[in-house]
Structure 1
Amino acid sequence: MELETIKKIIKENIRGYTGRMKRIRKAEMYYANENDILRRRDPLEEKLKQENPDHPLRNADNRISHPWHWLLVDQKASYTMTVPPTFDAKKKQLNDEITKLLGDSFPKIAKDLAVNASNAGIAWLHVWKDEEYQNFFRYAVVDSKQIIPVWSKKLNSQLEGVLRIYEDFDEQGNTIVIYEYWNDTECSYYFREKRNKLEDLEEFNVIPLYDIGTGESAGTTNIFEHDWGRVPFIPFRNNPSELSDLKKYKKLVDVYDKVFSGFVNDLDDIQEIIFVLTNYGGQDKKEFLSDLKKYKMVKVEDDGQGAKGGVETLAVEIPIEARSKILEMTREAIFLQGQGVDPLKNIGQNNSGAALEYMYSLLELKASMLETEFRQGFAELVRMILQYSGADSDIRIEQKWTRTSIKDEAQMADIIQKLAPTTSLESIAKNNPLVEDWEEELKALAKEKADADRMSSDYRSEEELNLEDEEEDEDESSI
Structure 2
Amino acid sequence: MIDLDIETAKKLIAKHTQGHSNFVTNCLIAERYFRNKNDILYLKKQDDSEVENPLRNADNRIPRNFYGLLVNQKASYLFTAPPTFDVGQDSANVLVADVLGDIYAKNCKDLCINASNAGMAWLHYWVNDAGEFEYGIVDSKQVIPVWCSHLNKKLIAVLRVYKSTDDDGKTFDVYEYWTEDKCYSYCKATDDTIDVGLFGYNQFVSFDGSGLQFNELSHDFGRVPFIPFQNNNIATSDLDNVKSHIDVYDKVYSGFVNDLEDIQEIIFLLTNYQGSELSEFLSDIKKYKTVKLASNGADDRSGLETLTIDIPIEAREKLLDITRKAIFEQGQGVDPQPRDFGNASGVALKYLYSLLELKAGLMETEFRLGFGELVRAICKFKNIEVKNIVQTWTRTAITNDSELATMCKDSAGIISKKTIVKNHPFVENADDEIKQLSKEKEEQQSDMDAYKNAFPGQGGVGDESK
Both proteins in one fold, TM over 0.5? yes
Counterpart position of 1:198? 194
- Report how far residue 452 of structure 1 moved: 5.6
Query: Which residue of structure 2 aligns with residue 60 of structure 1?
Result: 58
> 2:339 & 2:460 partners in 1: Cα distance?
67
> Which of 21, 31, 52 is matched with 2:24 structurally?
21
Secondary structure in structure 2 of the residue aligned to 1:421: coil
Q: What code does the residue aligned with 1:389 have?
A: K
> Partners in 2 of 1:175 and 1:469 — Cα distance?
90
Q: What residue in structure 2 maps to residue 149 of structure 1?
A: 145
- Give, in angstroms, the shift of residue 51 of structure 1: 4.4
Give the drift of 1:83.
Answer: 1.0
Unaligned runs of 5+ in 1: none
Q: Does structure 1 retain, via aligned residues, the 8 Å contact 2:453–2:460?
A: no
- Single out whichever of 151-160 and 440-449 deviates more from structure 2: 440-449
The partner residue of 1:410 within 369, 382, 402 is 402
Q: Which amino acid aligns with 1:28?
A: E
Against the structure 1 CA distance between its residues 429 and 130, is the aligned structure 2 distance closer, same or farther, given a 3 Å change threshold? Answer: farther
- Structure having the larger proportion of residues in helix: 1
Which of the numbers 275, 284, 295 marks the counterpart of 1:291?
Answer: 284
1:330-369 equivalences in 2 (<5 Å):
330-348=323-341, 350-369=343-362
Which whole-Å CA distance do the structure 2 matches of 1:350 and 1:419 have between them? Answer: 22
Instruction: Judge conservation of contact 1:347–1:355 (CA < 8 Å) in 2.
Output: no
Q: Is the 8 A contact 2:452 2:461 kept in 1?
A: no
C-alpha spacing 1:247/1:286, structure 2 compared with 1 (3 Å): same
Measure how far apart 1:49 and its partner are: 5.0
Which residue does the alignment assign to 1:430? 422
Q: Which residue pairs with 1:75 in the alignment? A: 73
Match of 2:175, SS state, is strand
Instruction: State how far apart, in whole Å, the 2-side matches of 1:24 and 1:142 are.
Output: 14
Contact between 1:208 and 1:217, CA under 8 Å: does it hold in 2?
no
Measured after TM superposition, the shift of residue 105 of structure 1 is: 1.0
Aligned residues: percent identity?
47
Per-residue Cα deviation, 1:258-305 (whole angstroms, up to 9, x for no partner): 111111111111111111111112342222112111111112121247
Q: Where does 1:426-465 land on structure 2 (aligned, <5 Å)? A: 426-448=418-440
Whichever residue aligns with residue 405 of structure 1, its letter is A
Other structure's SS at 1:387 match: helix
Counterpart residue identity of residue 201, structure 1: L
Give the match's secondary structure for 2:96: helix
Cα deviation, residue 140, structure 1:
1.1
Distance 1:468 1:444 in 2: 28
Q: CA deviation at 1:206?
A: 1.8
Q: Relative to structure 2, which stretch is displaced further, 80-89 or 7-16?
A: 7-16
- State the number of aligned residues: 461
Task: Tell me if structure 1 keeps the 8 A contact 2:187–2:201.
Answer: yes
Name the counterpart of 1:182.
178
Query: Is 1:8–2:15 an aligned residue pair?
Result: no
Q: Show CA shifts across 1:31-65 (max 9, x none).
A: 011001111138xxx4x954457x53121111111
SS of the equivalent of 2:242 reads helix
- In structure 2, how many angstroms separate the alpha carbons of the residues matched to 1:86 and 1:350? 32
CA distance in 2, matches of 1:161, 1:457: 70
- With the length of structure 2 as denominator, give the TM-score of the two structures: 0.92
Q: Which residue of structure 2 aligns with residue 222 of structure 1?
A: 215
Tell me if 1:34 matches 2:30: no
Aligned residues: CA RMSD: 2.5
SS in 2 for 1:179: strand
Deviation string for 1:385-420 (max 9, x for gaps)?
211221013x21111111111101222233333334
Q: In structure 2, what residue type is equivalent to 1:417?
A: K
Q: Which amino acid aligns with 2:11?
A: K
The aligned counterpart of 1:266 is 259
Moved more, 342-351 or 255-264: 342-351
Tell me the amino acid that sits aligned with residue 412 of structure 1.
L
Among 370, 382, 387, the alignment partner of 1:389 is 382
- The code of the aligned residue for 1:155 comes to L
Give me the TM-score of the superposition, normalised by structure 1.
0.89
Q: In structure 2, what is the equivalent of residue 329 of structure 1?
A: 322
Distance of 2:160 and 2:338 partners within structure 1: 44
Q: Tell me how far apart the structure 1 counterparts of residues 367 and 213 of structure 2 sit (CA, whole Å).
A: 38
CA contact (8 A) 1:301 1:308 kept: no
SS at 2:76 equivalent: helix
CA distance in 2, matches of 1:468, 1:34: 79
Distance in 1 (CA, whole Å) between partners of 2:5 and 2:317 is 63
Structure 1 Cα separation of the partners of residues 153 and 451 of structure 2? 67
CA distance in 2 between counterparts of 1:449 and 1:192 reads: 71
| Structure 2 unmatched runs, 5+ | none
Q: Aligned pair 1:378/2:378, yes or no?
A: no
Q: Are 1:250 and 2:243 matched, yes or no?
A: yes
Amino acid at match of 1:259: V
Change (3 A) 1:152 1:428: farther
Note if contact 1:177-1:192 (Cα within 8 Å) is conserved in structure 2. Answer: yes
